Amino acid sequence: MKIKLFNVRNDEKAAVAYYSDQLGVETEITSEELEAEDIRKLEGFDGISVLTHKNVDKELLDALKEANIGCISTRTVGFNHIDLDYAKKLGIRVCNANYPPNGVAEFTVMLMLIALRKYKPAMWRQGVNDYSLSGLQGKELGKCTVGIIGTGRIGQSVLKKLTGFGCKLIAYDPYPQESVKDIAEYVDIDTLFRTSDIISLHVPFTEENRYMINAENIAKMKKGVLIVNASRGELVDIDALIEAVESEHVGSVAMDVIEDEVGIYHQRRINDIIKNRKMAYLRQFPNVVLTQHMAFYTNVNVDSMVECSIKGIKEIVETGNSVHEIKL
């Protein structure tokens, strides 16, 4: 059993070594991105593992097929950087990773607090020795109605953490969970839009929910609403969001993800021209907090994603099935 891991960060190396030994898998690592010419050198490998630094498109998948690589895993929960339909057509199996929900849930609550307490402009002022309070009056989380869209593992974890703040909790999910009903009230999505002071997204991206936060739905929201997204960038129509911030209908935004972040987030781009005007424009607002897709980034989660990636390929090759495989 032999696996090649691409885009390996320094913080992943210990986990790769540990799980390779534990699972009896030979691994080879590189910090480089996956390129077609690399794939042609992968003779004898059973699978490869990647991150989201580069889209795994038809060209790369064709090269994998030509090299008889039958499995690819991504060390991420999200997988929209891989052309799943084309991979299925070629017979290439695809796995993703998972991790405990606590890290993202904690980060989500932190985003809420940073936005509510206007910490971004407060930090700006400190940099020029301005310690005034004017314009920095915030809101208390405990006095807010928080609407959670998506009550899977992360959404539930956010709800549980918010119970200690005393805020009113409502939720929307097409598949309600009985365990949630003890701490939050399920409502239809329009009611959630209309009545929430804070709206937090915790759903996977599909074509059906692309731009669920759009001009029409923003218009239903309370004036001054806080929108939080630590899920997927494609859930939010950035053009509509910018207009809503400019009109002051949306009071604040805190997002760990943004559409078209691939090639920008998780990269050192200090001296580069960033070709994402929407992100650059959105970032300049004092009431908008953008973080670089790091809600997942804890020691626990990094270890879990490496383990899932190696284990998924091993299980598919040896048994034909894996709980980590993405089923279409």
Average pLDDT on 142-158 reads 98
Token reading at 62: 């064709």
What rounded mean pLDDT belongs to the chain?
95
Write down the catalytic residue from 12, 234, 259, 261: 261
pLDDT at 296 over 90: yes
Active site residue 202: no
The better pLDDT of the pair 287, 275 is held by: 287
Instruction: Tell the burial category of 153 from Cβ atoms under 10 Å away from its Cβ (0-12, 13-18, 19+).
Output: middle
96 and 324 in contact (C-beta within 8 Å)?
yes
Write down the catalytic residue from 232, 307, 315, 324: 232
Active site residue 232: yes
pLDDT tens for each residue of 110-121: 999 999 999 999
pLDDT category at 41 given cuts 50, 70, 90 is confident
pLDDT tens for each residue of 221-269: 999 999 999 999 999 999 999 999 999 999 999 999 999 998 899 889 9
Write down the catalytic residue from 75, 293, 315, 324: 293
Q: Please report the domains of the chain, with CATH numbers, ordered by start residue.
A: 2-99+298-319 (3.40.50.720), 102-290 (3.40.50.720)
pLDDT at 328 over 80: no
Give the integer Cα–Cα distance in Å for 232 and 254.
13
Instruction: Provide CB contacts within 8 A for 316, sequence distance 6+.
Output: 47, 70, 71, 93, 95, 322, 325
Residue showing tokens 């994603």: 305
pLDDT at 40 over 90: no
121 phi, psi to nearest 5 deg: -65, -30
pLDDT tens for each residue of 53-110: 778 999 999 999 999 999 999 999 988 889 999 999 999 999 999 999 999 999 999 9
185 phi, psi to nearest 5 deg: -100, 125
Helix axes 153-162, 102-116, angle to 10 degrees: 50
